[in-house]
Structure 1
Amino acid sequence: MPVPRVSPRIAILQFKPKIGQVSANIAKARELCRGIPPRSVDLVCLPEMVFSGYVFDSAVAISPYLEHPRTGPTSMFCAELAQRLKCYVVAGYPERLNQSEAEQYLEETGARVVGANSAALYGPEGEWVGGYRKTNLYSTDQTWAKPGTGFATFSLPAPLRTLTLGICNDLNAQPPHQWTTVDGPFEVADYCLTQNTALLVLLNAWLDSGEEPDGDYDMHTMDYWAERLRPLWLKSSPASQETLVVVCNRGGDENGKTFAGSSAAFHMRQGGGKSGILCAALGREDEDVLVWDSSI
């Protein structure tokens, strides 16, 4: 019997989905994952709305691509991959709301929504573990999505342990707050500290910063992600909680928007400072799987 891992090995999938080409995007993800041996990783991460694409300008435009939880194409892919690799798999997808939920939200807020920007988490036997809905909606989401009610944390077996999920703009300050690097607010980081989160996973469709466009990596964006998680590594903190952070982003272009790629893995420790927390990353243009051994 193999010796259980103490520190997780995490596969971070990054590619350039084509908007509306669900079958082709799934085929690309399968191709990229083909080289991952069973039982070699503990978690596979795929980005926000990975198979549908992201830049839809209206509820009408996205409606053909909305999925039911557990039975939609993203769930089917995750269940199949999780069972084959004997690991956990998490991916973002556009969730279809049932009619009664959409009608209730319209009655409460006056806003018409058709879905939610969601994530699905599956376990090693291909079983549904849980879901999460993006809480802090980006402007693109606001044309069609109902916001979630807060971040989600799952208690999983070692070596993953306490896993917290967020989606892209969840990392930004929630309106009406104006964020500063000193005073925050740092919603995701503070939540992780209260939950004793061992692993934070952010599934992103984060836009390129445009800074140093000839660089292989969007360092400006990666630095911003780290700054938004400042309480997890702040040098003056008297505590010493450690948090592994995975930011799984996508690349490519959609409807005039360019995504940053630059998926990254961080090892953050309170009181440790910012130096050296970036452990591994993919480039802007990479379409690949980064396998991060967090023990190294």
Structure 2
Amino acid sequence: MIFTGYMFPNAHSIHPYLEDPRNGSTSRFCSDLALSLRCYVTAGFPERLSPDEIGVKDATGTPVAGDNSVEGEVGIRNEVDIVGANSAVLYGPDGCWVGGYRKTNLFKTDLTWAKAGTGFTTFQLPAPLHTVTLAICNDLNVFNSTSHLPPPQHADPQKTSPPQSPTQTTSSWTLKEGPYELADYCIAQKTNLLILLDAWLTSGESVHDEEEHDWHNVNYWAARLRPLWVNEGVEGGFVEDGDITEPDVGDETVVVVCNRFGEENGESFAGTSCLLSMRRKSGRPKLFEAMGRREEGVRLWTAG
């Protein structure tokens, strides 16, 4: 959510910042920028629900029947008001709306105000983009699951991965068996480009030293997309751009991770936006470029 921040404690606090799709400030910005640069532009925003979608859910996330909130009556209660959606919008080179997407796998912060989407979204765009899938942050994780990832490379094996999954945890995730909802979806859709719009927290690794990137999180993101590149006989580490690699052996998905940095309401974000190539059965993802943990700016990257 590029203009509003993310760490809202409840529906009451985010309510003034909700935007109508297509004519809110984020949509107008994306439309103007896309038209000016003659390119496709996507960004996240807190979407205002239509009146018939607004409702209330209890602490478990179950809708409360017969108890709908209306605009002007959003407050703090024992139940959680559903007033918006963590959404993304996509505009084309002509400045026109192409489509939108609502985050499917909600993080604990979203659970205080947001309605989940109904599934991942893919767009068929002209060359060279072709099949493009949009996802938002915790969509990498599995709905109602906990993560059980191995430690990252060069990390203390006694330390575990940070909790990044929803607070409702009913099943386990393993590196070998997954499940891998987003990666499997991309394979089924033959996705050429996966765009992840993230507000991912710091990993807790190397936060207090001078390391420029949060490699723990980059490893985490790549691991969550493992079916896009796994080959049990070759697997291990990243290949950096320019390194000698094995021959191209399968379909490729280029992955763009756009992650914010900085601090908000006591939480620190990891930055380290990056561009990756994931080719089926290659055994490892290929890292083209990465921004720093504290870097704000614009980068022009070429995948190929």
Aligned to 1:233: 229
Which of these residues, 265, 269, 281, is aligned with residue 271 of structure 1? 281
Offset at 1:217?
0.2
Task: Give the alignment partner of residue 67 of structure 1, picking from 10, 13, 19.
Answer: 19
CA contact (8 A) 1:89 1:121 kept: yes
2:212 to 192, 210, 216: 216
- Structure 2: segments with no counterpart, 5+ residues: 65-79, 145-169, 234-247
For residue 259 of structure 1, the aligned residue among 269, 273, 288 is 269
- Cα distance between partner residues in 1 of 2:295 and 2:83: 33
CA deviation map 1:74-109 (0-9, x unaligned): 000000000000000000000001111114989x81
Q: Given residue 100 of structure 1, which amino acid in structure 2 is its aligned partner?
A: D
State the one-letter code of the partner of 2:284: K
1:186 is aligned to 180
Deviations 1:250-270 (A, max 9, x none): 000000000000001101101
Comparing 234-243 with 207-216, greater Cα deviation is found at 234-243
Alignment of 1:91-170 (within 5 A): 91-103=43-55, 109-110=63-64, 112-170=81-139
Contact kept in structure 2, 1:177 and 1:185, CA below 8 Å: no
Letter paired with 1:279? F
1:183 & 1:239 partners in 2: Cα distance? 22
* Partner SS, residue 51 of structure 1: coil
Q: Which has the larger radius of gyration?
A: 2
Q: TM-score, normalised by structure 1?
A: 0.80
* Rounded Cα–Cα distance in structure 2 between residues aligned with 1:207 and 1:190: 24
**Match 1:284 to one of 288, 293, 303:** 293
Q: Does 1:207 align with 2:198?
A: no
- The Cα RMSD (Å) is 1.7
Shift of 1:112: 2.6
> Counterpart of 1:29?
none
Task: Determine if contact 2:231/2:281 at 8 Å carries over to the other structure.
Answer: yes
* Aligned residue in 2 for 1:249: 259
1:239 is displaced (CA, Å) by: 6.9
Residue segments in structure 1 that go unaligned for 5+ positions in a row: 1-48
Runs of 4+ in 1 over 3 A off after TM superposition: 103-106, 236-239
**Greater helix share, structure number:** 1
CA deviation profile, 1:235-292 (whole Å, cap 9, x unmatched): 24997121000010000000000000000110110111115x1111100000111211
Aligned length: 245
- How much identity, in percent, do the aligned residues show? 56
TM-score, normalisation: structure 2: 0.78
Distance in 1 between the 2:280 and 2:49 partners? 39
Using the TM superposition, give the Cα deviation of residue 177 of structure 1 relative to its aligned residue in structure 2, in angstroms: 3.2
CA drift at 1:163: 0.2
DSSP-derived class of the 1:227 partner: helix
The aligned residue for residue 9 of structure 1 is: none
The answer to whether residue 95 in structure 2 is matched with residue 86 in structure 1 is: no
Distance (Å, rounded) in 1 between the aligned partners of 2:226 and 2:257: 15
- Specify which structure has the bigger relative contact order, considering alpha-carbon pairs within 8 angstroms and separated by 6 or more residues: 1
